[in-house]
Amino acid sequence: MQLLGEAGAGNDAAPGLSQQIHGQIKARILQAQLAPGARLPTSRALAQALAVSRNTVLRAYEQLESEGFIRSRMGAGSYVSDLAAPSSSASPTTPSRAASPRTPDSPLWLRLQDYQPSPVVQGPGRAFRHGLPALDLFPHALWSRLQARFWRAQARPGPRASLSYEDAAGLPRLRELIAGYLSHSRGLHCRADQVLVTAGSQQAIAMAALALLRSGDRVGMESPGYRAAAAALGLSGAQVLPVPLDGQGLRIGSLQALGRLRLVYTTPSHQYPTGVVMSAQRRLELLAWARQNDAYVLEDDYDGEYRFSGVPLAPLASLEGESDARTLYVGSFSKLLFPGLRLGYLVAPAAWLPTLARLRSVLDRQASIADQAVLAEFMAEGHFLRHVRRMRRAARERRDALLQAWAQELLPLHPQHRLQPVPAGLQAFLPLADRTEETRLAERARRAGIELGALAQMGGLPAHSQQAGLVLGFASVPTAEIAPAVRALAQAWRDGSS
Amino acid sequence: MQLLGEAGAGNDAAPGLSQQIHGQIKARILQAQLAPGARLPTSRALAQALAVSRNTVLRAYEQLESEGFIRSRMGAGSYVSDLAAPSSSASPTTPSRAASPRTPDSPLWLRLQDYQPSPVVQGPGRAFRHGLPALDLFPHALWSRLQARFWRAQARPGPRASLSYEDAAGLPRLRELIAGYLSHSRGLHCRADQVLVTAGSQQAIAMAALALLRSGDRVGMESPGYRAAAAALGLSGAQVLPVPLDGQGLRIGSLQALGRLRLVYTTPSHQYPTGVVMSAQRRLELLAWARQNDAYVLEDDYDGEYRFSGVPLAPLASLEGESDARTLYVGSFSKLLFPGLRLGYLVAPAAWLPTLARLRSVLDRQASIADQAVLAEFMAEGHFLRHVRRMRRAARERRDALLQAWAQELLPLHPQHRLQPVPAGLQAFLPLADRTEETRLAERARRAGIELGALAQMGGLPAHSQQAGLVLGFASVPTAEIAPAVRALAQAWRDGSS
């Protein structure tokens, strides 16, 4: 009996050897190469054949017996059991349909087949990767010091942040600090008991969708829009319908035509991905519509801090009283600190928080405790506000560099490619005539080493894709690299135009 | 006009002042204390009245105008707009039903009302808090050093772990290390492309439930069982049905009576909370049942590493070939490192991983990047295996201390209160006659400063609650504190017995 394969066992320590022998015999039993009733070699014989100690073989046999694969009769050797064989290979000549694993066929599983998340791109930010802030400005050393302080406190006796299960809604101190920040900086007056700490804005959207929607509900969403949000809104089986945009944002007049909507998802501060800022008038109309239609508004303020000029408009959520709030407000630290942090928040009526916290505890219990504690320190000591200001300055500088280079380097060669205004945010939008053009230009850029977001890859659900265009993230690209990248882009697009 | 409340504005800096003025006027407009058409004081008059600079008032008026709350006519002053008012308070004398926010009524929202997660207990572990490992043995300093190293690497140029969006399935290196650990230590041979890193075992269970189940599906679950798992299994609207246990684990014979089941949830290594270890025979029977009934098995191996004697039994997932796998395997780092880490994993057929990763990206994109990277280092350098051995030794020592103190201090006074055997895990189980007894004993212990888990608070769904008993977590309690706690418990139970 050839028990050990080419990998052999000779180089391994004794426990590993025993495990290998056990695994090989088990595999042969499961594959019916050792039939029920078959007699195994004696431990002495097998030990000799494999040049291992007899104890090594005995350990393997003992485990096989405790698992029910073999029976040992005192003095009579070890035999393969005739237990109900769980493997389909037990009868390899008659493969039955039930033998192969059931491919999942839940409605969500099937919907997920259509969902193509944005591809993950590795390495430091290149021009013009979108969705990233100025990661090069993150204060690594400071963050690391705060982390070290957290762990030193763990080693000391006395009261301390716990490493254990905590409030699913988030560390109370962090919720206080977020509420304070929103009041002070975003004009959104809320209390800590309205704030649920989430694993980034994505979880906030997913939780709102799971909590509020039921299968068959109709949901309106800006189109083009944020594809990952569309997928999250569909988690409960809701039908996500596109709502067109104009220069003032989501078109309220189009909502009635979609039938009874339970929720509308919007990014009013800086529409993703086109960059339109929803007008004040439109904001009030949307809230009035929600009241009249007994619907919710999910306001995703993913990069509202990045406003470069003019007066910041009040978030939708700040235009309502708490007692008649229809707006759930979603915020994120991904665009202010770094996306890998996975911390964001949902602001909701206080009366809803206990149920939302229960949902969080069912989904994944709570956010990473060290990340929460370190972020709270970072905010409490004033580093956060300073960092936000630094990030806004950097994004404005990089936007200006992009617009200037675009005007000087690209427009003279391609006068038809005008960027939309960029009053806010981390990316610029270039509308295009059609998807063919979009694919062609993105592909030429790619070959020249420039990353561009194509609407087909990022905007809303596939079925929504009417518009065409390219997204250029500028915030993560150091200023000095921007003009050369625009030149390269202008050249790449020119070379191919024939 | 009294614009500023008692809090006043005098102590604040100019931008804060301007925001306060803006906020106060906005609130009055939304509450209809300032009616449409009303004229605001001139900026000069208001500035004088509040003793602030005129620019401060002008900034507030400018923001109110950009938000659409007021209109300014050159030379004629500022007036409250008559926009569609979003607030119900706009017409305070006729409160309409639609004005109050719609209380969510989705099926999940309603089910969550019945779900009572285990209460969060603060502070360092007391005897006999359950669900926690020996947190006092966690190598804080080492973990902190690895974290500092991660952040130093971020500051250096060149290739490094990214702070950005990464593979939703988890860092490739961490998935490799988990697969290696499972092969080596748990006898579960799998590849990295079968491993999905999750936010603890809770997310693994929730994801399996969302991905595999549909509304109305029937799911079997050990009873008593892990309440948070029951809640997660119900996320998609599946019906969770109790399956009784005997001394060998989940009773296979009872499954048929429950009708067509799509999935069975089980904790075979160490049943939660009773501590029964599923026999080898029963394991094979369960897999055979799953094949015959075209059902999935969800194996939650939350504390399988804590086996104190005998040969460890192979996980269910290791008894199948990948091509005919019906078992999804759930593992966690919460009981080996610390619960606040929020890292665990799901092992599934490789063909399912792309869809599961997509689901993860929809739910919350990925796990905390620094936590993943530091855990990978911790494993790669061998610290993890050493720590697991140290934790197992500590748990065994603390179990022995509990059993010894129980025999010496408690049984002589309360001979009817015999603990179940504790071959594995972090807690002991004391079966009781009924819920009255359970409540009585837990309450007396609480008054004596001893924490006990009552089955009514932790086992399965409320409707499942047939058995009664108490759970004693021993692993998080330093050995020296165990005997005194048992003495206190014996005394507390005695004092009340009359």
d(CA A178, CA A197) in angstroms, rounded, equals 9
Domain boundary among A385, A403, A424: A385
In-domain check, residue A91: no
Whole-number pLDDT of residue B204: 98
Q: Give the separation between CA A95 and CA A92, rounded to whole angstroms.
A: 6
Judge: B102–A296 Cβ closer than 8 Å, yes or no. Answer: yes
Question: Does the residue A133 lie in any domain?
Answer: no
| Residue A246 banded pLDDT, cuts 50, 70, 90 | very high
pLDDT score of B424 more than 80: yes
Chain center to CA of B267:
17
Of residues B100 and B307, more confidently modeled: B307
- Is ipTM strictly over 0.85? yes
Dist. CA A381–CA B236, nearest whole Å: 42
One domain, residues B282 and B354 = yes
pLDDT digits (tens, 9 = 90+) for B76-87: 788 888 765 444
Main-chain dihedrals φ then ψ at residue B263, nearest 5 degrees: -155, 145
Of A148, A164, A291, the CB nearest to B135: A164
A475 domain residue, yes or no: yes
d(CA B71, CA B430): 72
Say whether pLDDT at A8 is over 50. Answer: no
Mean pLDDT on B470-495 = 95
- Which secondary structure element, helix H or strand E, spans residue A214, and what is its range? none
pLDDT of residue B11: 36
A284 and A219, same structural domain?
yes
pLDDT in tens, B101-113: 678 999 999 999 9
Higher pLDDT, A170 or A166: A170
The tokens of A197 are what?
Answer: 């700490």
Average pLDDT over residues B142-157: 91
Q: Number of folded domains in chain A?
A: 3
3-state secondary structure A218-273: EEEEECCCEHHHHHHHCCCCCEEEEECEECCEECHHHCHHHCCCCEEEECCCCCCC
User: In A, which residues are within 8 Å of B389 by CB distance?
Assistant: none
| Over residues B195-210, mean pLDDT | 98
Nearest-CB residue to B326 (from A101, A311, A364): A101
- Cβ contacts below 8 Å, chain A against chain B, sum to 385
A107, part of any domain = no
Same domain (yes/no): A235, A291? yes
Q: Is the pLDDT of residue A117 over 60?
A: yes
Say what the pLDDT of residue B4 is.
Answer: 40
Instruction: Note whether A380 and A428 are same-domain residues.
Output: no
Average pLDDT over residues A459-473: 77
Asked whether residue B203 is domain-assigned, the answer is: yes
Q: Which of B346, B363, B385 is the last residue of a domain?
A: B385
The answer to whether residues B298 and B290 touch, using CB atoms and an 8 Å cutoff, is: no
Compute CA distances B173 → A486, B12, B441, whole Å: 36, 51, 48
| Interface contact A232-B349, CB threshold 8 A | no
Nearest to B312 by CA among B340, B288, B278, B343: B278
Q: Which two tokens stand for residue B52?
A: 């602030």
Best A67, A143, A389 residue to mutate vs chain B (most B CBs within 10 Å): A67
Q: What is the band of B32 on the pLDDT scale with cuts at 50, 70, 90?
A: confident
In a domain, B392, yes or no: yes
The answer on pLDDT for A444 being more than 90 is yes
Which CATH number do you get for residue B479?
A: 3.90.1150.10
Q: Please check the confidence at residue B73 and state whether its pLDDT lies above 90.
A: no
Instruction: Please give the Cα distance from A269 to A229 (Å, whole number).
Output: 16
Sheet containing B453-454: order of strands = B427-432, B468-473, B453-454
Do A368 and A397 sit in the same domain of this protein? no
For residue A395, give the nearest of A423, A437, A364, A436 by alpha carbon.
Answer: A423
Please tell me the distance in Å from A188's CA to the nearest CA on chain B: 10
Q: Which of B59, B203, B264, B362 is the mutation pick for testing A, counting most A CBs within 10 A?
A: B362
Of A10-14, A92-96, A138-142, which one has max mean pLDDT?
A138-142
Same domain as B392, residue B381: no
| Chain A residue with minimum CA distance to B322 | A101
Q: Do A367 and B342 touch (CB under 8 A)?
A: yes
Distances from the Cα of B319 to the Cα of A27, B287, B424, angstroms:
9, 8, 21
- Cβ–Cβ gap B202/A106 under 8 Å: no
- Name the domain boundary from B363, B385, B407: B385
Q: Tens digits of per-residue pLDDT, A349-405?
A: 999 999 999 999 999 999 999 999 999 999 999 999 999 999 999 999 999 999 999
Residues B67, A16: C-beta atoms closer than 8 Å? no
* Residue A305 sits in the same domain as residue A392: no
DSSP per-residue string spanning B259-293:
-S-SEEEE-TTS-TTT-PPPPHHHHHHHHHHHHHT
Q: What are phi and psi of B278, to 5 degrees?
A: -70, 130
- Give me B84's structure tokens: 């569609």
Do the chains contact at B202 and A364, CB–CB below 8 Å?
yes
Q: Is the same domain home to A420 and A347? A: no
- A309-318, A417-426, A442-451, B421-430: the lowest-pLDDT one: A309-318
Q: What does pLDDT average to over chain A?
A: 87
**Amino acid letter, residue B492:** A
Tens of pLDDT, residue by residue over B116-148, are 887 766 666 689 999 899 999 999 999 999 999
By Cβ distance, the residue of B124, B210, B292 closest to A108 is B210
Q: Distance between CA B258 and CA B261 in Å, rounded?
A: 7
CATH number at residue B24: 1.10.10.10
Tell me: the pLDDT tens digits for B230-243?
999 999 999 999 99
User: What residue in A sits closest to B373 (Cα-Cα)?
Assistant: A340
**Strand runs (DSSP E) across B310-435, as ranges?**
327-332, 344-347, 427-432
Whether residues A372 and A403 fall in one domain = no
What pLDDT was estimated at residue A50? 85
The model's confidence at residue B41, banded by pLDDT at 50, 70 and 90, is: confident
Q: Which residues of A touch B227 (CB under 8 A)?
A: none
Q: Which residue has the higher pLDDT, B113 or B458?
A: B113
- CA B413 to chain A, closest CA, distance in angstroms equals 34
The reply to whether B280 falls in a domain is yes
pLDDT tens-digit readout, B323-359: 778 999 999 999 999 999 999 999 999 999 999 999 9
- CATH code at position B296: 3.40.640.10
**pLDDT band at B5, cuts 50/70/90?**
very low
Whether residue A9 has pLDDT greater than 50 = no
Quote the pLDDT of residue A37: 84
Q: Do B148 and A152 touch (CB under 8 A)?
A: no
Residues 6+ away with beta carbon under 8 Å from A151: A370, B140, B141, B143, B144, B147
Chain B CB contacts of A288 below 8 Å: 84-86
Note whether B235 contacts A210, CB cutoff 8 Å.
Answer: yes
Average pLDDT over residues B32-59: 85
Chain A residues touching residue B111 (CB < 8 angstroms): none
Answer whether residue B117 is part of any domain. Answer: no
Give the three-state DSSP class for A65.
Answer: helix
- Closest partner residue to A19 (CB to CB) among B68, B187, B202 is B187
* Residue whose structure tokens are 């030149």: A487
| Residue A361 sits in the same domain as residue A450 | no
% of chain B with per-residue pLDDT over 90 = 62
Average pLDDT over residues B52-64: 87
Cβ atoms within 10 Å, residue A299: 26
> A426 and A380: one domain?
no
Look at the block and give the residue holding tokens 């708490």.
Answer: A322
Q: Taking residues B429-457, report their average pLDDT.
A: 93
Percent of chain A surpassing pLDDT 70: 88
Chain A contact probe: residue of B363, B387, B389, B426 with most A CBs at under 10 A: B363
Rounded distance between C-alpha atoms, residue A303 and residue A426, angstroms:
7
- Computed on alpha carbons and rounded to an integer, the radius of gyration of chain B in Å comes to 30
Instruction: Give A351's contacts in chain B (Cβ within 8 Å).
Output: 103
- Cβ neighbours of B102 in A, within 8 Å: 294-296, 326
- Report the gap between the CA of A86 and the closest CA in chain B (Å): 5
**CB spacing of B135 vs A163 below 8 angstroms:** yes
Say yes or no to pLDDT of B482 above 50.
yes
Going by pLDDT thresholds of 50, 70 and 90, the confidence category of residue B75 is confident
Structural domain for B179, as ranges = 140-385
Q: Average pLDDT, whole number, for chain B?
A: 87
Whether residues B67 and B153 fall in one domain: no
Closest CB from A67, A112, A295 relative to B313: A67
